[in-house]
Structure 1
Amino acid sequence: MNRQADRPVTKKLGRFAIVGLLNTLIDLATFSALVALSFPALVANFLGWGVAVIFSFAVNSRWTFERGERFNLHKAFAKFAVSGSIISLGSSSLAVYFLPPLTGLFAAKLVGIIVGAILNFFAARWSIENRII
């Protein structure tokens, strides 16, 4: 039996949060560097998300969630990236587009990341473990 299968959801949530913090730093660092290089905010947001999602999948699929016997790396990554693009890229892009007049660009990016992270736990669990709850 897989040792990870015995890990409670609360432990998975804690690990997901740790990965999420690192993921956020990667996303923000990439976003900030690209904005400083005069990339448009939405392009920088997309590229920062892309770098972060690859890191997130690599770590979450090995450390946070358990892989089933029928785990298919390519299929799981496709589900992870598609659900992530709808949730985290969608929420951060909407925030970066609409919120800067109210909050400033970087605060808007953080709002989008936080909303996306909450929803992304369930999407990651679905894409890697093939279940939500």
Structure 2
Amino acid sequence: MSREGAKRSLGGKLRRFAAVGLANTAIDLAAFTIVLSLTGMPLASNLIAWSVAIVFSFAANSRWSFDRDLEKPTASSFVQFVSAGALISLGISNLSLISFQGLIGVWPAKLVGVVVAAALNFAAAKWSIEGQLFGGASRK
């Protein structure tokens, strides 16, 4: 399996992933704010904001956070990344909005979803970009 440049340590990947995650969260929350103010529809706003943020997240993580598998087509990695992201990030944040917005408000519900999804996203991003969850042999 071909890799781009020197292999990064797991700690290095985690730090870079966290930095990208902070930027990604800012993009997501900014887009959510804008769309929510225009539509007043939390779930539609969440979908649009997530769509904007996922493109940035893939670009940054595949080029900076992880050791990209050069034998795997970028389009294939992107489809896996978006699919896993839809299941984890979008699924958890929508579930959080549906479950909690009536109890704690839209913004706290949105933030609960962001926090819960963060850890799961590292594993999903590593799998979709590197083609493996753990070090060593590929788990395609």
Shorter-chain-normalised TM-score: which range? over 0.9
What is the distance in 2 between the residues matched to 1:2 and 1:41?
Answer: 39
Report the counterpart of residue 5 of structure 2 in structure 1.
3
Structure 1 residues 71 and 4: alpha-carbon distance in aligned structure 2, compared to 1, 3 A threshold = farther
Q: Give the aligned residue type for 1:67.
A: R
Report if the CA contact (8 A) 1:53-1:84 is conserved: yes
Counterpart amino acid of residue 40 in structure 1: M
Give unmatched runs, 5+ long, in structure 2. Answer: 135-140
- TM alignment of 1:13-92, pairs within 5 A: 13-92=14-93
Matched AA of 1:27: D
Structure-2 separation of matches of 1:4 and 1:37: 45
Report the TM-score when normalising by structure 2.
0.90
Which structure has the highest helix share of the two?
1
Offset at residue 40 of structure 1 (A): 1.1
> C-alpha offsets along residues 50-94 of structure 1, whole Å, 9 cap, x if unaligned?
000000000000000011230311000000000000000000000
Equivalent residues, number? 132
- Higher mean displacement: 21-30 or 100-109: 100-109
- 1:115 Cα deviation (Å)? 1.0
Confirm whether residue 95 of structure 1 aligns to residue 80 of structure 2: no
Structure 1 unmatched ranges of 5 or more: none
Using the aligned pairs only, state the percent identity: 45
Letter in 1 for 2:102: P
TM-score, normalised to structure 1, is 0.94
Distance 1:2 1:24 in 2: 26
Report the Cα distance in structure 2 between the residues aligned to 1:78 and 1:88, rounded to whole angstroms.
15
Residue 104 of structure 1 is matched in structure 2 by: 105
